[in-house]
Structure 1
Amino acid sequence: MHGAPRLERWRASTRSVRVLTGEVHGHPNFPDGRRITTSDLYASDGRRWARTLSRYFVLGQPDTGAERLDRH
């Protein structure tokens, strides 16, 4: 930790982050077809892949009326 910044007068807080929801397939911890909410969304091309805090996802068909990721 030598050289790391020090945070004074700190407290835990919350913030809004982008996540994805959908039916997962091929996940090591959930059965196929289970509806999940991902961890924080860090990057995506908006059509084929997404990177969350815990893993990469291949994006299949979007939900009807879903917003496109590359517009935000």
Structure 2
Amino acid sequence: MLIVVAREGVLQTRHLNEEIERLKALCVDLEWLRAGVLPSVEDLEDAPLLDNYEITLRDVPALKGRVVAHPIIGTATALTSELRVIAPDLGWARTMSRFYRLGSPRDTVARMFS
């Protein structure tokens, strides 16, 4: 889910509460796994069955550009993790991993939000 914040600070999404709850639930599950607690038979009882499955890739919104002072890669051209919130008029974005200050956009981005 990509959330666009307008210049006035208004969120342009109707599903923000549901997304927050979904992410909170994921965090709880990940914390249990980190603690070594695996899902029980009861936990999986109502889970849907995925048969004949494979691991695949899918596109998600992300930002690509020249990053400066990144805590891991320093200064380089980079592709961010999944883009979650963007406020181009306010000069910031939030990816799955961190906030970014936004500099100048490429022409394609400028046209998208004008």
SS for the counterpart of 2:109 is: coil
CA 1:5–1:69 in 2, change beyond 3 Å: closer, same or farther? Answer: farther
Is the aligned partner of 1:41 residue 2:83? yes
Unaligned runs of 5+ in 1: none
Equivalent-residue separation in structure 2 for 1:58 and 1:39 (angstroms) = 15
CA 1:5–1:29 in 2, change beyond 3 Å: closer, same or farther? Answer: same
User: Size of the alignment, in residue pairs?
Assistant: 69
Is the aligned partner of 1:66 residue 2:66? no
Equivalent-residue separation in structure 2 for 1:61 and 1:67 (angstroms) = 9
Q: Which has the higher contact order (CA 8 A, sep 6+)?
A: 2
State the AA in 2 paired with 1:14. L
Equivalent-residue separation in structure 2 for 1:60 and 1:30 (angstroms) = 18
TM-score of the pair, normalised by structure 1: 0.69
| Residue in 1 that maps onto 2:68 | 25
Going by fraction, where is helix more abundant, 1 or 2? 2
Bigger radius of gyration, 1 or 2?
2
Alignment of 1:47-62 (within 5 A): 47=89, 48-62=91-105
CA 1:69–1:26 in 2, change beyond 3 Å: closer, same or farther? Answer: farther
TM-score of the pair, normalised by structure 2: 0.48
RMSD: 2.5
Unaligned runs of 5+ in 2: 1-38
SS for the counterpart of 1:67 is: helix
